[in-house]
Amino acid sequence: MLTFTESARERVLGFMKDFYGEDAALRVGAASGGSPLAPSYELCLVESGDADPGDVVFDAGGFLVYIDAAAAPGIEGAVVDFVGSTFEVRPAAGAAAAAPAGELAERVRRVIEGRINPAVAAHGGKITLLGVEDGVAHVQMSGGCQGCGLAAVTLRQGVERMIREAVPEIVAVRDSTDHASGRTPFFSRRPG
Protein backbone atom coordinates (compact mmCIF):
# COMPACT_ATOMS: atom_id res chain seq x y z
CA MET A 1 0.00 0.00 0.00
CA LEU A 2 2.54 2.62 1.18
CA THR A 3 6.27 2.07 1.62
CA PHE A 4 8.83 3.94 3.71
CA THR A 5 12.45 4.56 2.83
CA GLU A 6 14.92 3.53 5.51
CA SER A 7 15.54 7.17 6.50
CA ALA A 8 11.79 7.81 6.84
CA ARG A 9 11.29 4.62 8.86
CA GLU A 10 14.16 5.53 11.23
CA ARG A 11 12.77 9.05 11.68
CA VAL A 12 9.24 7.81 12.43
CA LEU A 13 10.54 5.29 14.96
CA GLY A 14 12.75 7.98 16.55
CA PHE A 15 9.84 10.43 16.89
CA MET A 16 7.66 7.68 18.36
CA LYS A 17 10.29 6.77 20.92
CA ASP A 18 10.89 10.41 21.88
CA PHE A 19 7.26 11.47 22.15
CA TYR A 20 5.02 8.42 22.64
CA GLY A 21 7.10 5.45 23.64
CA GLU A 22 5.71 2.12 22.52
CA ASP A 23 2.10 3.30 22.35
CA ALA A 24 2.10 5.17 19.00
CA ALA A 25 1.02 4.91 15.40
CA LEU A 26 1.44 7.11 12.35
CA ARG A 27 -1.66 8.69 10.80
CA VAL A 28 -1.59 9.68 7.12
CA GLY A 29 -4.33 11.94 5.82
CA ALA A 30 -5.05 14.28 2.94
CA ALA A 31 -3.70 17.78 3.62
CA SER A 32 -6.07 20.71 3.45
CA GLY A 33 -5.51 23.11 0.62
CA GLY A 34 -4.28 20.41 -1.74
CA SER A 35 -5.73 20.00 -5.19
CA PRO A 36 -7.76 16.93 -6.10
CA LEU A 37 -5.48 16.75 -9.13
CA ALA A 38 -2.25 16.96 -7.10
CA PRO A 39 -3.00 15.82 -3.56
CA SER A 40 -0.67 16.35 -0.65
CA TYR A 41 -0.60 14.46 2.61
CA GLU A 42 -0.10 15.14 6.31
CA LEU A 43 1.63 12.74 8.67
CA CYS A 44 1.17 12.88 12.43
CA LEU A 45 1.76 10.66 15.42
CA VAL A 46 -1.26 9.37 17.33
CA GLU A 47 -1.78 6.92 20.13
CA SER A 48 -2.07 3.36 18.92
CA GLY A 49 -5.68 2.28 18.96
CA ASP A 50 -6.85 5.67 17.64
CA ALA A 51 -7.78 4.28 14.24
CA ASP A 52 -10.98 5.73 12.85
CA PRO A 53 -13.65 3.53 11.27
CA GLY A 54 -12.76 3.18 7.60
CA ASP A 55 -9.02 3.74 8.09
CA VAL A 56 -6.67 1.44 6.23
CA VAL A 57 -4.39 -0.03 8.91
CA PHE A 58 -1.11 -1.85 8.25
CA ASP A 59 2.24 -2.59 9.85
CA ALA A 60 5.05 -0.66 8.18
CA GLY A 61 7.82 -2.69 9.78
CA GLY A 62 7.95 -1.69 13.41
CA PHE A 63 5.00 0.70 13.62
CA LEU A 64 1.35 0.83 12.67
CA VAL A 65 0.11 3.21 9.98
CA TYR A 66 -3.47 4.51 9.85
CA ILE A 67 -4.39 5.87 6.43
CA ASP A 68 -7.50 8.02 6.39
CA ALA A 69 -10.18 6.51 4.15
CA ALA A 70 -10.30 9.67 2.01
CA ALA A 71 -6.53 9.57 1.38
CA ALA A 72 -6.23 5.82 0.77
CA PRO A 73 -7.20 5.60 -2.93
CA GLY A 74 -4.70 8.23 -4.08
CA ILE A 75 -1.78 7.01 -2.00
CA GLU A 76 -1.66 3.44 -3.29
CA GLY A 77 1.97 2.49 -4.00
CA ALA A 78 3.41 5.84 -2.83
CA VAL A 79 6.77 6.13 -1.05
CA VAL A 80 7.37 8.14 2.13
CA ASP A 81 10.87 9.60 2.39
CA PHE A 82 12.58 11.93 4.85
CA VAL A 83 14.47 14.64 2.96
CA GLY A 84 16.30 17.47 4.70
CA SER A 85 14.00 18.15 7.61
CA THR A 86 10.65 17.02 6.27
CA PHE A 87 8.70 13.98 5.18
CA GLU A 88 7.77 13.74 1.51
CA VAL A 89 5.11 11.47 0.04
CA ARG A 90 5.98 10.66 -3.57
CA PRO A 91 3.48 9.01 -5.90
CA ALA A 92 4.10 5.47 -7.07
CA ALA A 93 6.58 5.07 -9.91
CA GLY A 94 4.73 5.24 -13.19
CA ALA A 95 1.74 6.95 -11.58
CA ALA A 96 2.29 10.22 -13.36
CA ALA A 97 -0.99 11.93 -14.03
CA ALA A 98 -2.30 11.82 -17.55
CA ALA A 99 -2.27 15.08 -19.43
CA PRO A 100 -5.51 16.99 -18.91
CA ALA A 101 -7.94 16.20 -21.71
CA GLY A 102 -10.82 18.00 -23.30
CA GLU A 103 -11.37 21.14 -25.32
CA LEU A 104 -11.40 23.47 -22.31
CA ALA A 105 -8.14 22.06 -20.92
CA GLU A 106 -6.54 22.33 -24.37
CA ARG A 107 -7.50 26.01 -24.63
CA VAL A 108 -6.00 26.70 -21.18
CA ARG A 109 -2.85 24.75 -22.09
CA ARG A 110 -2.42 26.85 -25.27
CA VAL A 111 -2.57 30.06 -23.20
CA ILE A 112 -0.03 28.69 -20.75
CA GLU A 113 2.38 27.46 -23.42
CA GLY A 114 1.95 30.39 -25.81
CA ARG A 115 1.72 33.41 -23.49
CA ILE A 116 2.54 32.56 -19.88
CA ASN A 117 5.53 30.22 -20.05
CA PRO A 118 7.57 32.47 -22.35
CA ALA A 119 7.19 35.25 -19.75
CA VAL A 120 8.03 33.19 -16.65
CA ALA A 121 10.90 31.45 -18.47
CA ALA A 122 12.83 34.71 -18.20
CA HIS A 123 13.01 33.99 -14.45
CA GLY A 124 13.70 30.28 -14.87
CA GLY A 125 10.09 29.32 -14.18
CA LYS A 126 7.47 27.13 -15.77
CA ILE A 127 3.70 26.70 -15.28
CA THR A 128 2.07 23.32 -15.94
CA LEU A 129 -1.64 22.65 -16.24
CA LEU A 130 -2.62 19.74 -13.98
CA GLY A 131 -6.27 19.77 -14.97
CA VAL A 132 -9.55 21.64 -15.16
CA GLU A 133 -12.37 20.80 -12.79
CA ASP A 134 -15.68 22.67 -12.45
CA GLY A 135 -14.30 25.79 -14.13
CA VAL A 136 -11.16 25.83 -11.99
CA ALA A 137 -7.76 25.42 -13.64
CA HIS A 138 -5.27 23.65 -11.36
CA VAL A 139 -1.66 24.56 -12.11
CA GLN A 140 1.77 23.74 -10.77
CA MET A 141 4.69 26.16 -10.71
CA SER A 142 8.24 24.86 -11.10
CA GLY A 143 11.79 26.10 -11.58
CA GLY A 144 12.23 29.72 -10.49
CA CYS A 145 8.49 29.98 -9.66
CA GLN A 146 8.56 27.17 -7.08
CA GLY A 147 9.26 28.80 -3.74
CA CYS A 148 9.54 32.31 -5.19
CA GLY A 149 8.40 35.03 -2.81
CA LEU A 150 6.34 36.56 -5.64
CA ALA A 151 4.65 33.33 -6.79
CA ALA A 152 1.23 34.41 -5.46
CA VAL A 153 1.51 37.74 -7.31
CA THR A 154 2.54 35.95 -10.52
CA LEU A 155 -0.41 33.59 -10.14
CA ARG A 156 -3.08 36.24 -9.47
CA GLN A 157 -1.90 39.16 -11.58
CA GLY A 158 -0.37 37.21 -14.44
CA VAL A 159 -1.37 33.59 -14.83
CA GLU A 160 -4.99 33.82 -13.65
CA ARG A 161 -5.66 37.11 -15.42
CA MET A 162 -4.33 35.84 -18.78
CA ILE A 163 -6.15 32.52 -18.56
CA ARG A 164 -9.48 34.07 -17.57
CA GLU A 165 -9.25 36.69 -20.34
CA ALA A 166 -8.57 34.07 -23.01
CA VAL A 167 -10.84 31.33 -21.62
CA PRO A 168 -13.90 32.96 -19.97
CA GLU A 169 -15.26 29.58 -18.80
CA ILE A 170 -12.43 29.47 -16.24
CA VAL A 171 -13.63 31.07 -13.00
CA ALA A 172 -10.46 30.58 -10.94
CA VAL A 173 -6.90 29.29 -11.06
CA ARG A 174 -5.56 27.26 -8.12
CA ASP A 175 -1.89 26.72 -7.37
CA SER A 176 -1.08 23.12 -6.38
CA THR A 177 2.64 23.75 -5.94
CA ASP A 178 4.65 22.66 -2.92
CA HIS A 179 6.51 25.96 -2.65
CA ALA A 180 8.42 24.88 0.47
CA SER A 181 10.43 22.37 -1.55
CA GLY A 182 11.54 24.86 -4.22
CA ARG A 183 15.29 24.66 -4.63
CA THR A 184 16.00 27.59 -6.98
CA PRO A 185 13.37 30.31 -6.43
CA PHE A 186 13.81 33.50 -8.44
CA PHE A 187 13.05 35.74 -5.43
CA SER A 188 13.80 34.05 -2.11
CA ARG A 189 11.58 34.65 0.86
CA ARG A 190 13.32 36.19 3.79
CA PRO A 191 13.08 34.33 7.09
CA GLY A 192 10.55 36.11 9.26
Indicate whether 19 and 77 sit together in one domain: yes
Domain at 170, CATH number: 3.30.300.130
- Please report which confidence band the pLDDT of residue 149 belongs to, taking 50, 70 and 90 as the band edges: confident
- Please report which confidence band the pLDDT of residue 162 belongs to, taking 50, 70 and 90 as the band edges: very high
Q: Is residue 95 part of a domain?
A: no
Domain at 47, CATH number: 2.60.300.12
Query: Last residue of some domain: 55, 90, 125?
Result: 90
Q: Is residue 189 part of a domain?
A: no
Q: Which domain holds residue 157?
A: 103-181
Q: Is residue 192 part of a domain?
A: no
Q: Is residue 29 part of a domain?
A: yes
* % of the chain at pLDDT higher than 90: 29
Q: Is residue 188 part of a domain?
A: no
pTM of the predicted model, to two decimals? 0.53
The C-alpha angle 8, 181, 17, rounded to 5 degrees, equals 25
Which whole number is the average pLDDT over 158-184? Answer: 86
Domain total of the chain: 2
Given this model, what pLDDT does residue 104 score?
93
For the stretch 23-44, pLDDT in tens is: 899 998 877 555 555 567 888 8
Given this model, what pLDDT does residue 173 score?
93
Strand runs labelled E in the chain:
2-4, 24-30, 41-47, 56-59, 64-67, 78-83, 86-90, 125-133, 136-143, 172-175
